[in-house]
Copies of this chain bind each other. A is one copy, B any other.
């Protein structure tokens, strides 16, 4: 067996000869668990999530009510083809290879504006994972507004260089078409045809499994927090015979011999939009001075197009007026007309301290687009049978200079009509960041921590120590921000900044108080009903007694019963 190993201790020179660049694709390929591709099941969800995020962002930026089709098709025992099609504005041809086969490429990283995607990694990483596990290319079909044909491309990522390789590139006819289905999976209503859109298809090693962390759950939760979205979901598993054939091909011994082929196991469901109103397109904002660190300030002063420090301060930052800029310069002992580049090198620290010591308005919040209380209620009511619903949208707040906004929805469900909910079960927490469902790593998330941290006993729910409260309750927790601080690149859990935990807690407590009023009232009503039924049970006996004593006729007895009942109904039964 050959080894590449040298012999003897290394010297500075021999070590230098081994140093080399590591491409960002190689890095993430080896560390793909950082991106959410650590197991076949999770990989399937992550790929769908990244593609749907991109589609929703593109539709909303393009001002188009989103229509998205998610298709999962099992192609071998451990393989799926994942196809996401949208009616978005489409992608111009020369951008397709980079967007789908280059990590760290995108439009959302360098701006401060709320969106689902942030880093320019997700969809390329999904393609790279597919390539690693199946050798297959990412296939894209895209038609832009006004174009006669669609581009069809197959791309792969050259991981050594983090560059796209184009395997095929043709023009073809295409119209994105979406066929709604009913609850039985049968076509229902007219198909929706769009003049533009994008479809991406990736084949990858994957596993499908139902449950709380499944694609089924993801698309359902997507529909809840995006009431303006129509989403058509179809999942097809191989039949046992097909799967057996695949196994036989793989060299395994087991072959299905059943003569009758059962139909393929499928799921087919359409979530039709509840409202035809687009969410407000959030504004892009400039960085707030109090969220900018010294090194970043220096970089901004070097990069500015302004000719003076004063104008750089007022035009590159939010909440700095010309007068405030003057005040800051004065406080820092800097001539306001100095060239910003010079300041970057010599007096940046004085300027930094002056900025930190200046009172400023909090950052603007037009950059956020919360779901809204009414929409949250509508979303929950569509999906859950419950007796009580409430929702709170908090005022925007700020962490590290980044505006954010917390929303909470709460439903007290009927356990018998909702699977997995019960008086003895922990409440269910549905987490969302910028309208994207978060299904993994709940335990590490600030949202879960905030729920655990609230004293739910005072609102009428049982709660074991340091744990989620118990009861047939569903909580929806949403954070909207220009920059969501995820604890890892797989974007599953939110980091526990103090300001974020505080806002979450206040929102949860507000919902808790309302729940408490409901539970209290319901308790009274149940008690009253119990007493009433108790008395009602005795009315006939009472009437019979009266009949005997007063020698009433049968008719008079009936009247007594009726009168007593009426009396009972009129009486306010205080418990």
Residues on the B chain within 8 Å of A318, using CB: 1
Asked if A34 CB lies within 8 Å of chain B CBs, one says yes
Residues on the B chain within 8 Å of A89, using CB: 10-12, 15
Asked if A168 CB lies within 8 Å of chain B CBs, one says no
Known: A293-B132, A321-B1. A109 touches B30 (CB 8 A): yes
* Most chain B C-beta atoms within 10 Å of own C-beta, residue among A22, A38, A94, A296: A22
Flag if A251 contacts B24 (CB, 8 Å). Answer: no
Describe A's contact surface by its main secondary structure: loop
Docked complex: A313-334 residues within 8 A CB-CB of B: 314-315, 318-321, 331
Asked if A284 CB lies within 8 Å of chain B CBs, one says yes
Asked if A26 CB lies within 8 Å of chain B CBs, one says yes
Asked if A105 CB lies within 8 Å of chain B CBs, one says yes
Q: Which residue of B lies closest to A90 (CB)?
A: B12
**A11–B145 CA distance with the chains assembled, in angstroms:** 8
Asked if A364 CB lies within 8 Å of chain B CBs, one says yes
Residues on the B chain within 8 Å of A63, using CB: 8-10
Residues on the B chain within 8 Å of A26, using CB: 109
Asked if A19 CB lies within 8 Å of chain B CBs, one says yes
Residues on the B chain within 8 Å of A34, using CB: 34, 488-489
**A134–B349 CA distance with the chains assembled, in angstroms:** 8
Interchain nearest-CB distance for A362 vs B (Å): 13
Docked complex: A258-298 residues within 8 A CB-CB of B: 281, 283-286, 293-296, 298
Flag if B135 contacts A58 (CB, 8 Å). Answer: no
Q: Which of B61, B91, B109 contacts A22 (CB 8 A)?
A: B109
Docked complex: A16-34 residues within 8 A CB-CB of B: 16, 18-24, 26-27, 30-31, 33-34
Docked complex: A98-116 residues within 8 A CB-CB of B: 98-99, 104-107, 109-111, 113
Flag if B364 contacts A1 (CB, 8 Å). Answer: yes
Asked if A13 CB lies within 8 Å of chain B CBs, one says yes
Residues on the B chain within 8 Å of A20, using CB: 105-107, 110
Asked if A159 CB lies within 8 Å of chain B CBs, one says yes
Flag if A104 contacts B3 (CB, 8 Å). Answer: no
Known: A22-B110, A106-B19. A353 touches B315 (CB 8 A): no
Residues on the B chain within 8 Å of A284, using CB: 3-5
Interchain nearest-CB distance for A56 vs B (Å): 14
**A274–B524 CA distance with the chains assembled, in angstroms:** 74
Flag if A353 contacts B251 (CB, 8 Å). Answer: yes
Asked if A62 CB lies within 8 Å of chain B CBs, one says yes
Asked if A92 CB lies within 8 Å of chain B CBs, one says yes
Interchain nearest-CB distance for A256 vs B (Å): 19
**A251–B320 CA distance with the chains assembled, in angstroms:** 20
Docked complex: A216-230 residues within 8 A CB-CB of B: none
Docked complex: A467-501 residues within 8 A CB-CB of B: 483, 485, 487-489, 495
Flag if A1 contacts B444 (CB, 8 Å). Answer: no
Residues on the B chain within 8 Å of A22, using CB: 104-106, 109-110, 119-120
Contact with B along A63-98 (1 / 0, CB 8 A): 110000000000000000000000001111011001
Q: Which of B27, B95, B119, B294 contacts A19 (CB 8 A)?
A: B95
Docked complex: A230-272 residues within 8 A CB-CB of B: 250-251
Q: Which residue of B lies closest to A252 (CB)?
A: B357
Interchain nearest-CB distance for A130 vs B (Å): 8
Q: Which residue of B lies closest to A198 (CB)?
A: B12
Flag if B135 contacts A10 (CB, 8 Å). Answer: no
Asked if A505 CB lies within 8 Å of chain B CBs, one says no
Asked if A144 CB lies within 8 Å of chain B CBs, one says yes
Q: Which of B12, B13, B62, B314 contacts A11 (CB 8 A)?
A: B62
Asked if A537 CB lies within 8 Å of chain B CBs, one says no
Flag if A16 contacts B135 (CB, 8 Å). Answer: no
Besides the known contacts A2-B314, A5-B113, A133-B293, 5 further A-B residue pairs in the complex with CB atoms under 8 A apart: A1-B321, A12-B196, A16-B94, A19-B106, A134-B295
What are 9 A-B contacts with C-beta separation under 8 Å? A9-B64, A11-B144, A15-B61, A16-B92, A24-B27, A31-B489, A134-B295, A135-B298, A487-B488
Q: Which 3 A-B pairs have the closest CB atoms?
A: A9-B63, A132-B295, A18-B107
| A interface list, Cβ under 8 A from B | 1-5, 8-13, 15-16, 18-24, 26-27, 30-31, 33-34, 38, 58, 61-64, 89-92, 94-95, 98-99, 104-107, 109-111, 113, 119-120, 131-135, 144-145, 159, 196, 250-251, 281, 283-286, 293-296, 298-299, 314-315, 318-321, 331, 348-349, 353, 357, 364, 444, 483, 485, 487-489, 495
